[in-house]
Amino acid sequence: MSTVIEIEKAIESLPAAEFWQLVDWMQRKREESEDAADIAAAEAALAEGGEPVSWEEVQRQCGLLP
């Protein structure tokens, strides 16, 4: 039996309270991973240098301002 199937069966057999604890843990881990990716992207953008862009200019470029 593959590890994935074993994990699926173990998750399916969890009592409801433990299942929801696992769901919460998985969501926190996903958010941590997304935050780490965002930080890495921001650091890479800062390392590129260049001229700063105002928030108003960002909004204009996104079509949010005339």
Per-residue pLDDT tens digits for 24-62: 999 999 999 999 999 999 999 999 999 989 999 999 999
pLDDT at 63 over 80: yes
Whether the predicted model's global pTM rises above the 0.75 cut = no
The answer to whether 56 touches 65, Cβ cutoff 8 Å, is yes
pLDDT of residue 66: 81
C-alpha distances (whole Å) from 52 to each of 17, 56, 59 are 49, 12, 14
Other Cβ atoms within 10 Å of 29 Cβ, number: 10
pLDDT at 57: 95
Reduced to 3 states, what is the DSSP secondary structure of residue 2?
A: coil
Residue 27's H or E segment, with its range, is helix 16-48
